[in-house]
Chain A
């Protein structure tokens, strides 16, 4: 038996992503001078920290056959809201500030969840609505004022450049470590808890899950709550990293998070994917973006198009290969265990 036959499709997907990331690194290091260095790691890790956390929230929702398009607005609103509070109450405890961000995010996610799970409105409609709603709330709340770095407490401004461990010029930032904790935590929850397995069950076959007695509605609501909570956490990280917060904060994050999730192998029709996969998807996209900017030969106007094309290719090739492999894997299983 070759080693590849021992892999489950999800594992294979993650392996393919790792190979793709290595390929990107090799290709660009041959065309960009001074590419592979500690700086690249610092840049990409600091930037992925935000998107990976958001993508994992999105994963929760996508696993249940839903989508959350309001996460960008939640990030923007929490970043502004917490920033505004911190400008007024500078002595607020850091943990309280994080708690506040997560709390506001959870609340907003909860509104999405209730509308989707209990009012039975399609999630794309609900979250398209709340995307505009939360953004408008931010515009009203902000009263056209900017959250300014000068008014923020020192600890928050120092947070993005705070290193937990440094090897020479390679820095492992605190925000990055926070992101890794989130990835590991959710990987474990999805894989080893009954909650996680039920999420997959609901996504792959909602009818069957219902017959099996799963509380589908409550599960969907929980997925949205978690997604909102992680979007709130991302909002806090956003505030720490960018300091000056205006009403445009987080615009476009919803699509980037969906892109990371899809590239990361989470099935948009629910039921399969992993937190680690979504993380790898976020890394691949960020790495491509970062590298394309530095690639001299390419103009700004082509960069976005090329990025879109690369995402499309990666998803398309992957889905073709995966389909073949899944078919093969299913046949193999059927043959090896004829009694089931």
Chain B
């Protein structure tokens, strides 16, 4: 009965949106030269995304090439634009970008589109969505806000108190969206005891994040928690609190890698943090890009496709941006003492 109802409802929704489409199941062996571009080279999570993309590349038996190209860390913004421009000139069929250049990359993305190249973003989108066909969102950006608010509430308890955010760079599109979403989530009455006092930026560098974390403690004597929605920031903050013997007073939480956080979770400096699978993110991004680049999918709202082992996904309007389309991956895994050791292996 329930099933029937759902099917009817789904059909009604499709009809009402004016599009009735079947699931696209990828035809294997079509040729597309693709490029996967991280924010910069040398960071574990981006390498994991590459693993996922390579897995999908083999699975789909694409006779074309999949290249993992990124700028060096000190040259991230200019380097990304350069690689995108070069890929366009070389006549690559598609590119997957974890954007670190804000809207500055939009002109290069637009000219790539003009040349018929497929431009998909993952991990971090182009904020204005100009030049971008699709964004593969790791998680719902609004849900990130709720997850962070929930972890803060769990750690600080009902008594609540002061907490601060230690982010990456001030112009990182994904972090900014998550912080905005968390501020929105905090308006709910259940979080009324939580008081967000400041947002500071560590530019995804250990030393800056470490110093910023300590400065926060000095600036707000009643601070109970530092929320860092970046893997570099969360590890630096936990280390700073541990080095200064402050873990009893100020906890760290946010988005972190189990391998980097395991010791801090076990000694209670960072009792709880969250993340998603970057391998899956790379895998899903590859599927979507392959389908568009080989003309099997258009990349318009309502389209549904099968991404191999991960199952079915739908292209939709991105509710977290004014413009743009997204494919939502999800979900979060929340790590604590019970599961962090297994995940860190």
Residues facing B in A259-279 (CB within 8 A) are none
Give which listed residue, A161, A251, A290, A300, contacts B73 with CB less than 8 A.
A251
Chain A residues lying within 8 Å of B191, measured Cβ to Cβ, are none
Also in contact, A139 and B207, with CB within 8 A (given A160-B243, A296-B219): no
Of B47, B73, B212, most buried by chain A (CB within 10 Å of CB) is B73
Also in contact, A39 and B218, with CB within 8 A (given A146-B260, A161-B245): yes
A301 at the binding interface (Cβ < 8 Å): yes
The answer to whether B219 touches A161, judged by C-beta atoms less than 8 angstroms apart, is no
The answer to whether B210 touches A247, judged by C-beta atoms less than 8 angstroms apart, is no
The answer to whether A135 touches B263, judged by C-beta atoms less than 8 angstroms apart, is no
B43 at the binding interface (Cβ < 8 Å): yes
B199 at the binding interface (Cβ < 8 Å): yes
Give which listed residue, A43, A148, A242, contacts B214 with CB less than 8 A.
A43
Chain B: minimal CB distance from A75 (Å): 10
Give which listed residue, A142, A244, A249, A252, contacts B260 with CB less than 8 A.
A244
Chain A residues lying within 8 Å of B232, measured Cβ to Cβ, are 244, 246, 248
Give the interface SS of chain B, mostly helix, strand, loop or mixed: helix
A44 and B213 alpha carbons, distance in the complex (Å): 14
- Nearest to B47 among chain A residues (CB) is A144
Chain B: minimal CB distance from A140 (Å): 9
Also in contact, A249 and B72, with CB within 8 A (given A34-B221, A144-B43, A293-B219): no
- Nearest to B48 among chain A residues (CB) is A144
Chain B residues lying within 8 Å of A248, measured Cβ to Cβ, are 40, 42-43, 73, 204-206, 232
A247 and B243 alpha carbons, distance in the complex (Å): 22
Give which listed residue, A142, A238, A251, contacts B74 with CB less than 8 A.
A251
The answer to whether B170 touches A242, judged by C-beta atoms less than 8 angstroms apart, is no
B41 at the binding interface (Cβ < 8 Å): yes
A294 at the binding interface (Cβ < 8 Å): yes
The answer to whether A294 touches B210, judged by C-beta atoms less than 8 angstroms apart, is no
The answer to whether B201 touches A300, judged by C-beta atoms less than 8 angstroms apart, is yes
Bitwise interface map of B from 41 to 79 toward A, beta carbon under 8 Å scored 1, else 0: 111101100000000000000000000000011110000
The answer to whether A242 touches B199, judged by C-beta atoms less than 8 angstroms apart, is no
The answer to whether B41 touches A241, judged by C-beta atoms less than 8 angstroms apart, is no
A139 and B206 alpha carbons, distance in the complex (Å): 16
Bitwise interface map of B from 113 to 146 toward A, beta carbon under 8 Å scored 1, else 0: 0000000000000000000000000000000000
A247 and B42 alpha carbons, distance in the complex (Å): 6
The answer to whether B260 touches A135, judged by C-beta atoms less than 8 angstroms apart, is no
A34 and B221 alpha carbons, distance in the complex (Å): 10
- Nearest to B207 among chain A residues (CB) is A242
B181 at the binding interface (Cβ < 8 Å): no
A247 and B200 alpha carbons, distance in the complex (Å): 22
The answer to whether A136 touches B219, judged by C-beta atoms less than 8 angstroms apart, is no
- Nearest to A251 among chain B residues (CB) is B74
B239 at the binding interface (Cβ < 8 Å): yes
A135 and B70 alpha carbons, distance in the complex (Å): 14
Chain A residues lying within 8 Å of B47, measured Cβ to Cβ, are 144
Chain A residues lying within 8 Å of B221, measured Cβ to Cβ, are 34
The answer to whether A146 touches B44, judged by C-beta atoms less than 8 angstroms apart, is yes
The answer to whether B42 touches A290, judged by C-beta atoms less than 8 angstroms apart, is no
Chain B residues lying within 8 Å of A247, measured Cβ to Cβ, are 40-43, 73
The answer to whether A293 touches B212, judged by C-beta atoms less than 8 angstroms apart, is yes
Also in contact, A132 and B206, with CB within 8 A (given A145-B44, A290-B215): no
A232 at the binding interface (Cβ < 8 Å): no
Residues facing A in B309-339 (CB within 8 A) are none
The answer to whether A246 touches B42, judged by C-beta atoms less than 8 angstroms apart, is yes
Bitwise interface map of A from 229 to 256 toward B, beta carbon under 8 Å scored 1, else 0: 0000000001001111111111110000
A323 and B259 alpha carbons, distance in the complex (Å): 56
Also in contact, A149 and B263, with CB within 8 A (given A244-B239, A246-B43, A247-B43): yes
Bitwise interface map of B from 184 to 223 toward A, beta carbon under 8 Å scored 1, else 0: 0000000000000001110011110011101100110100
B35 at the binding interface (Cβ < 8 Å): no
The answer to whether A238 touches B73, judged by C-beta atoms less than 8 angstroms apart, is no
Residues facing B in A196-254 (CB within 8 A) are 238, 241-252
Bitwise interface map of B from 235 to 278 toward A, beta carbon under 8 Å scored 1, else 0: 11001000111000000000001011011000000000000000
The answer to whether A135 touches B244, judged by C-beta atoms less than 8 angstroms apart, is no
Chain A residues lying within 8 Å of B215, measured Cβ to Cβ, are 43, 290, 293-294
Chain B residues lying within 8 Å of A73, measured Cβ to Cβ, are 74
Chain B: minimal CB distance from A52 (Å): 14
Of A145, A148, A161, A290, most buried by chain B (CB within 10 Å of CB) is A148
A39 and B232 alpha carbons, distance in the complex (Å): 25
Of B40, B243, B257, most buried by chain A (CB within 10 Å of CB) is B243
Chain A residues lying within 8 Å of B212, measured Cβ to Cβ, are 293
Q: Which residues of B contact A (CB under 8 A)?
A: 40-44, 46-47, 72-75, 170, 199-201, 204-207, 210-212, 214-215, 218-219, 221, 232, 235-236, 239, 243-245, 257, 259-260, 262-263
Q: What are 9 of the A-B contact pairs (CB < 8 Å)?
A: A146-B259, A149-B235, A149-B239, A161-B244, A241-B210, A244-B232, A248-B205, A251-B74, A293-B215
**Which 7 residue pairs spanning A and B have beta carbons closest together?**
A247-B42, A144-B47, A293-B215, A242-B206, A139-B42, A294-B219, A248-B73
